Amino acid sequence: MTQTQDAPASARTRTYSWSDPTEHAALLGRRSGLELLRAMSAGELPPPPIMHLIDAAGMRAEEGSVTLELDPQEFHYNPLGTVHGGVISTLLDTAAACSVHSTLPAGVGYTSMDLNVKFLRAVTVDSGRLTCTGTVLQRGRRTALAEARLTDAAGRLVAHATSSCLLFELPAR
């Protein structure tokens, strides 16, 4: 494949901005996970940069469950003309891990240990708004298990994931 310096006539551009992610990190020891997530949902805190990157449409948080929304766009597409699996996986990982975060007290952090994704149907702009809900299945002292389900505007399941998260105490700030 040969590339030229000139962009094709059908080229599109996209510009976005984000807030300093250290704002969230500085609050981790002072607020519970649910407080942080609700503040982001309410617009009191900016969302993390990844949410701007994928152009997420919204988030709702309650203890043990987080729901994200995304309107599929062309810039999410892979070479086959469908939403890239990485975008879908990002939604699933975020919903599952944030559902774990919603159960954590101030001073406790987490990180994903694994993510097992099952893609069930193709997603395009015609799929309409996607809804991704993560739910904690089990939480212990050191690990948590969560799942996430991604549905299209018609309510059809398009992908499913399970995730294990490692829980740990954050260093004092």
- Phi first, then psi, for residue 44 (nearest 5°) are -75, -30
Provide mean pLDDT across the span 84-93. 98
Q: Is the pLDDT of residue 60 over 50?
A: yes
Cβ 67 vs Cβ 60: under 8 Å: yes
In the prediction, which pLDDT does 143 show? 98
Work out the pLDDT band at 3, boundaries 50, 70, 90. Answer: very low
Contact between residue 136 and residue 145 where contact means Cβ atoms under 8 Å apart: yes
Domains and CATH numbers, the chain: 22-169 (3.10.129.10)
Q: How far apart are CA 36 and CA 107, in angstroms?
A: 12
What is the predicted pLDDT for the residue at 126?
98
Q: Which whole number is the average pLDDT over 101-127? A: 97
pLDDT for position 149: 98
Predicted pLDDT of residue 138? 98
Give the pLDDT of residue 1.
43
Q: Name the residue with higher pLDDT: 85 or 48.
A: 85
Question: pLDDT at residue 91 above 70?
Answer: yes
The whole model's pTM is what? 0.91
pLDDT in tens, 119-153: 999 999 999 999 999 999 999 999 999 999 999 99
Report the share of the chain in percent with pLDDT over 90.
80
Strand intervals (E) in 120-172? 130-139, 143-151, 157-169
What is the DSSP pairing of strand 65-70 with strand 108-119? Answer: unpaired
